């Protein structure tokens, strides 16, 4: 079990880290096989790894006393009355999993009063974990140790590095980056885009997608914010997390980078 990076932190942080670590192992067990995948009603892929990860996470979190909203479970709306809620994406970047790029993650967030207060992202193929607790900073676990992470302070748009979807980058997004004069761009899978922002390895990520759900960005929103970056994804509505247009950036100059 990995020791949490925050001394005297929320007990849920240790639980979420262990869940992400175990779920990551379950995901990699499937990844190393000749797996097959199905297609959901919305056209997105689903694999045995999604379901195996979801089962592991549920088993770990169910004893916490908080309800769970997961991409792989039915949502009956009853969660809207909950003040505190787990939000889970058991396998973010299933398309990257299917394409074997290695850029897929496990995402776990704890939300209170409509805002993420804890976020954990596991990168199984990279052997890394990212974690944040509100008011306590953001951290990366790599090579057997934790280190604090910080978003970049690059203020010049012409020298900034943008990241975006490897599979779903739209013409509108390409045009926006050209209009803004972004210095460079790299396609990155899953929530690793937000992790790049949080670590200062990229300066800007935005998307015009209207398909983003709570589980796609709750964990990464907490991590980016605690790393000192700016995340414009959330607003409070009916006491639950509700995504807006997604955008995340480093510490300086984010207002000039916001797409029109």
Q: Which residues are annotated as a binding site?
A: 71, 89, 91-92, 216
Distances 93 to 45, 117, 250 between C-alpha atoms, Å: 9, 23, 23
Binding-site annotation: residue ranges for Mg(2+): 71, 89, 91-92, 216
One DSSP character per residue, 44-67 reads: -EEEHHHHHHHHHHHHHHGGGSSE
User: Going by C-beta distance under 8 Å and a sequence separation of 6 or more, which residues neighbour residue 251?
Assistant: 151, 152, 153, 228, 229, 230
User: Quick one: tokens of 51?
Assistant: 């379901």
Task: Tell me the longest C-alpha to C-alpha distance in the chain.
Answer: 50
Is-contact 180 257, C-beta < 8 A?
A: yes
User: Going by C-beta distance under 8 Å and a sequence separation of 6 or more, which residues neighbour residue 51?
Assistant: 72, 90
Query: Rounded to whole angstroms, how far apart are CA atoms 25 and 254?
Result: 36
């Amino acid at each position: 079990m990995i020791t949490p990076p925050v001394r005297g932190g929320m007990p849920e942080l240790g639980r979420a880290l262990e869940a992400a670590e175990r779920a990551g192992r379950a995901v990699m067990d499937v990844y190393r096989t000749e797996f097959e995948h199905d297609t959901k009603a919305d056209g997105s892929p689903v694999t045995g790894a999604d379901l195996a990860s979801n089962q592991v996470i549920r088993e770990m979190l169910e004893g916490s006393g908080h309800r769970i909203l997961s991409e792989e479970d039915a949502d009956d709306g009853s969660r809207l009355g909950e003040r505190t809620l787990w939000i889970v994406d058991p396998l973010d970047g299933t398309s990257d999993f299917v394409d074997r790029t290695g850029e897929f993650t496990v995402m776990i967030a704890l939300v209170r009063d409509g805002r993420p207060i804890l976020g954990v992202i596991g990168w199984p193929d990279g052997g890394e974990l990212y974690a944040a607790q509100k008011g306590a900073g953001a951290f990366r676990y790599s090579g057997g140790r934790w280190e604090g992470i910080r978003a970049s302070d690059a203020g010049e748009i012409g020298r900034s590095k943008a990241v975006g979807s490897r599979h779903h980058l739209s013409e509108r997004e390409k045009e926006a980056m050209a209009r803004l004069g972004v210095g460079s761009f790299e396609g990155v899978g899953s929530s690793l885009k937000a992790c790049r922002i949080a670590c200062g390895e990229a300066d800007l990520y935005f998307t015009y997608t209207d398909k983003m759900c709570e589980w796609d960005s709750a964990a990464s929103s907490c991590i980016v914010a605690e790393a000192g970056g700016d995340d414009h994804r959330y607003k409070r509505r009916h006491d639950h997390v509700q995504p807006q247009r997604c955008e995340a950036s480093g510490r300086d100059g984010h207002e000039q980078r916001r797409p029109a």
